[in-house]
Chain A
Amino acid sequence: MKRYLETGNFAITEGALLAGCRFFAGYPITPATELAESMSYRLPQVGGIYIQGEDECAALHLCIGGALGGYKAMTATSGPGYILYADPYGWAIGCEIPLVILNSGRVGPVSGITGAPGQGEFYLTRYPTQGGNFETIVLAPNSAQEAMAIVVEAFYLAERFRTPVTVLADQLITDGFEDISVPENDKEMQEMGFRTWPRGINRGPVFYPPTDEIDIPPVVLGRNTGALCSDWTPTEEGYDIEEVTAHHKHAYRLIYKIRNHRHLFNNLYEKIFMDDDPDLVVVSYGTPSRVVNTAVKKARGEGLKVGAIRLINLWPFPDEHFTKKTNYLSVELNWDGQLVREVQRAAPKDSRISFLGSCGDLPTVPDLIEAFTKILRGQSLERRDWELEGW
């Protein structure tokens, strides 16, 4: 094990290399640029390929090309680049191409504030492309060290599920310097819970089985298997067809291969003080969860019966954490309230659900404790004096 004081971008790079990533195509964008830079430095050292796309849309298409040729591939961006992935993301979902995509959230919409953390892509990562008829896997770490582990896990899941996996981080995770331990051999990787899955090669010409099966090797071109893949509705052999039954079979696969195997990743969460049926459950993911955890521990010291759920597996949304009728507070780095809507949907009727948003900066522990206190007293959260309406 080697220890470093380094950024999340460094940790993610090392995680990707440990997972077998040997192809990275990126495009400079704050705050994910350093990841492209460190990939350009590290990949050639291990015989891997770094290239720069002419835009993010090209970068993800380049990754698709690399993956179709047999590489484990990855790209990274922030919100304004993630939106340009819509086109290739859909193709990769439809053609079941394993990829890892890192999104380091900043403040939007559009360019917004470049060097500050935001969580505006909670829903966008669920629906990164048009057309529906698919599920997506999205994982959200809350530290540099965890980002390394989650990227390794993302590669593992991408291969087993034959699908792109988004790792949703934010500016504080990718840019922030932290204490990072990098495993140096397989034994250390195992000790750290890292698991990997080798790239298989679909022997074709069968493109997909109309079932929810996983662990089917993806299409790899150039091995003379007669493999086919396209953006049109495919037959099971990969031919294009405009036919509803064929499309239903394909869509069934894209949806249920993920829904029916959620047990492989729905253990990715963290709960604190949740054993004694707390009066208030604070829900968060990413860096705000670090402040939330501190605030919840402090509130417990002050006698407030508060617990916290920190989501790592964001999509498919883990409804199973929200079975109790109680008070919920969603703490997010946006002002429109995104995660809170899923909590509203998943929680039992008549649960009282509140939202505390901030953006570009983390909430403070006193802010949070004040909000806990108000909710537990049955008061509503105050709005700022210039706001006409509260959430």
Chain B
Amino acid sequence: MDHLSKKYLRPRKIPSTACSGCGLGLNHKAVIQAVYELGLEVEDVVWGTSIGCAGRQTFATWKGDGFAGTHGRVYAIARGLRLALPPGKKIILTVGDGDAFGIGLLHLIHAARCNADMTIIVNDNLGYMSTGGQYGWTTPQGSRTDSSPYGMYEQNLMSEGMDVLGILKHAGATFLARHVAMDGQRAVESIKKGIQNRGLSLIHMVYPCPTNFGSRELGTRDSVKIYEWIRSQSAPLGEEKENTLWATGVYHDASNSRPEFSESIRKNVEKIRRTAAV
């Protein structure tokens, strides 16, 4: 265990229950590193997770208070919790791509709409991998998965000309970034900015799944192959190549530009309480 694990994580959940070669740990580490670099302590954060690989493997890893919500609903739960928590308390959610961009998209859009202060790390293993590997809403076009044996021919939220971050930007999210698991410190810097934004921040982080995605699409569970496959198709924003699927960096930074949800509700309630005749 390194010093970050000792400081922030529960020994009971180490080692991780993730598959051998899974890239989720890289994303998880980036979040913990960001928390550390911001000088936050265990009691400064309530950690929420969701269903699927990303939710299950990160649940109860945080030493402090934590919860795992029903599939796709964690954004609504966190919004309710936001209203009850002290403003200084951070909410960090580590969720999956199916959770955020499939079943939970409506709730995510409404959390963005009201700019509820939370930092959402969408750990994207390119589909539904904990159920064996079915395509999702960010799976690259044409990928072979267990539910797209002929290659995925349905359009999704990352198909040519589309970007799920665009939806969230126009829904009102105030910080949006995209990274891949191998981005290291660049990802940490984005997560730090996200946590510092008093509003809804989302960092989309693609990570490799050798067990299911790798074995179906690449024909191998060799984790090096899928790490290379993802890295070769990612590039920093502005340096995209022909084959770039994931341009990485900060997509939208309107940090602290809009009233935060709970702050605005509290302010209004307090005003009504003081002035309204009871």
- Say if A and B assemble together: yes
Q: How far is the CA of A54 from the CA of B79 in the complex (A)?
A: 12
| CB neighbors of A among B9-26 (8 A) | 12-13
Query: Is residue A356 within 8 Å, beta carbon to beta carbon, of the partner chain?
Result: no
Tally of contact residues, B, Cβ under 8 A: 44
Decide if B76 touches A47 in the complex (CB within 8 Å). no
A69 contacts B80, C-beta separation under 8 Å: yes
Q: Are A51 and B83 in contact (CB under 8 A)?
A: yes
User: Do B273 and A240 have beta carbons less than 8 Å apart?
Assistant: no
* In contact, B60 and A239 (Cβ under 8 angstroms): yes
| Residues of chain A lying within 8 A (CB to CB) of residue B273 | 44-47
Partner-contacting stretch, out of A55-63, A149-157, A255-263, A328-336: A55-63
- B12 neighbours in A (Cβ, 8 Å): 239
Report Cα–Cα, A45/B56, bound state, in Å. Answer: 41
* Among A48, A58, A88, residue most surrounded by chain B Cβ atoms (within 10 Å): A58
Chain A residues 43 to 79 lying within 8 A of chain B, measured CB to CB, are 43-49, 51, 53-55, 57-58, 61-71, 73
Complex CA–CA separation, A63 to B79 (angstroms): 9
Q: How many angstroms from the CA of A53 to the CA of B63 in the assembled complex?
A: 31
Q: Mark B46-57, 1 if CB is under 8 A from A, else 0.
A: 100101000010
Q: Are A230 and B59 in contact (CB under 8 A)?
A: yes
8 Å CB interface, B156-202 against A: none
CB distance B89 to A49 under 8 Å?
no
Given contacts A64-B80, A68-B84, contact A224 B65 (CB under 8 A): yes
User: Closest approach, in angstroms, between the C-beta of B278 and any C-beta of chain A?
Assistant: 5
Question: Residue B240 at the A interface, CB < 8 A?
Answer: no
Give B67's nearest chain A residue, CB to CB. Answer: A229
Chain B residue at minimal CB-CB distance from A43 = B269
Which of A61, A204, A227 has the most chain B CB atoms closer than 10 A to its own CB?
A61
Contacts of A71 in B (CB 8 A): 83-84
Task: Tell me if A61 and B76 are in contact (CB < 8 A).
Answer: yes
Chain A residues with CB under 8 Å of B85's CB are: 69, 221-222
Cβ contact within 8 Å between A225 and B65 = yes
Decide yes or no whether A189 CB sits under 8 A from chain B.
no
List residues of chain A with CB within 8 A of the CB of B232: none
Decide: B73 and A87 in contact? CB cutoff 8 A.
yes
For residue A16, give the distance in angstroms from its CB to the closest CB of chain B: 15
A66:B70 contact, CB within 8 angstroms: no
Q: Is A232 an interface residue (CB 8 A)?
A: yes
Residues of B within 8 A of A232 (CB): 56, 59, 68
User: Can you list, as one digit per residue, whether each of A320-346 has a CB less than 8 Å from chain B (1) or not (0)?
Assistant: 000000000000000000000000000
Question: Are A61 and B269 in contact, CB atoms less than 8 angstroms apart?
Answer: no
Q: What CA separation (Å) do A179 and B166 show in the bound complex?
A: 54
List B contacts of A46 (CB < 8 A).
273, 278
The CA-CA distance from A65 to B51 in the complex, in Å, is 17
CB distance from A97 to the nearest CB of B (A): 10
Q: How would you classify the secondary structure of chain A's contact residues: helix, strand, loop or mixed?
A: mixed
Q: How far is the CA of A253 from the CA of B153 in the complex (A)?
A: 48
Report A64-104 CB contacts with B as 1/0, cut-off 8 Å.
11111111010000000000000110110001000000000
Given known pairs A44-B268, A240-B59, the reply for A226 and B64 (CB within 8 Å) is yes
Any A CB within 8 A of the CB of B1: no
What is the count of residue pairs linking A and B with beta-carbon distances less than 8 angstroms?
A: 143
- A58's nearest neighbour on chain B, judged by CB, is B76
1/0 per residue, CB under 8 A from B, across A219-262: the answer is 00111111111111000001110000000000000000000000
Known: A23-B83, A68-B81. A61 touches B107 (CB 8 A): yes
- Residue A25 CB within 8 A of the other chain: yes
Query: Bound complex: CA of A231 vs CA of B52, how far in Å?
Result: 12
A222 touching B272, Cβ below 8 Å: no
A46 to B269, CA, bound (A): 9
Distance between B140 CB and nearest chain A CB, rounded to angstroms: 30
Q: Give CA–CA (A64, B107) in the complex, Å.
A: 14
The answer to whether A87 and B81 have CB atoms under 8 Å apart is no
- Among A55, A222, A229, max chain B CB count under 10 A is at A222
Distance between Cα atoms of A253 and B42 in the complex (Å): 31
A28 to chain B, nearest CB (A): 15
* B46 and A45 form a contact (CB under 8 A): no
Among B46, B59, B67, B71, max chain A CB count under 10 A is at B67
Docked pose: A23 CA to B262 CA in angstroms: 13
**In the complex, B40 has a CB within 8 A of chain A:** no
- Name the A residues within 8 Å of B222 (CB-CB): none
| Pair B51/A231 contact, Cβ less than 8 Å | yes
Most A C-beta atoms less than 10 A away, residue of B65, B106, B268: B65
User: Given that A45-B278, A64-B77, A68-B67 are contacting pairs, would A222 and B86 also be in contact in the complex, using a CB cutoff of 8 Å?
Assistant: yes
Tell me which residues across on chain A come within 8 A of B80, comparing CB atoms.
Answer: 23, 25, 51, 61-69, 73
Query: Are A87 and B64 closer than 8 Å at their CB atoms?
Result: no
CB-contact partner of B84 in A222, A224, A229, under 8 A = A222
Specify which of B65, B70, B79, B80 lies most central, judged by the most chain A CB atoms within 10 Å of its CB.
Answer: B80
Q: A115 CA to B64 CA in the complex, in Å?
A: 48
Output the least CB separation between A17 and chain B (Å).
Answer: 10
Q: For the complex, is B226 an interface residue (Cβ under 8 Å from A)?
A: no
The 6 closest A-B pairs by CB, nearest first: A69-B84, A65-B80, A230-B68, A61-B76, A44-B272, A65-B81
Question: Which residue numbers of B lie inside 8 Å of A, CB to CB?
Answer: 12-13, 42-43, 46, 49, 51, 56, 59-60, 63-71, 73, 76-86, 89, 106-107, 109-110, 265, 268-270, 272-273, 276, 278
What are 18 A-to-B residue pairs whose CB atoms are below 8 Å? A51-B83, A54-B106, A57-B73, A61-B77, A65-B77, A65-B79, A68-B81, A91-B73, A95-B67, A221-B81, A222-B65, A222-B85, A226-B64, A230-B60, A230-B67, A238-B60, A240-B59, A240-B68
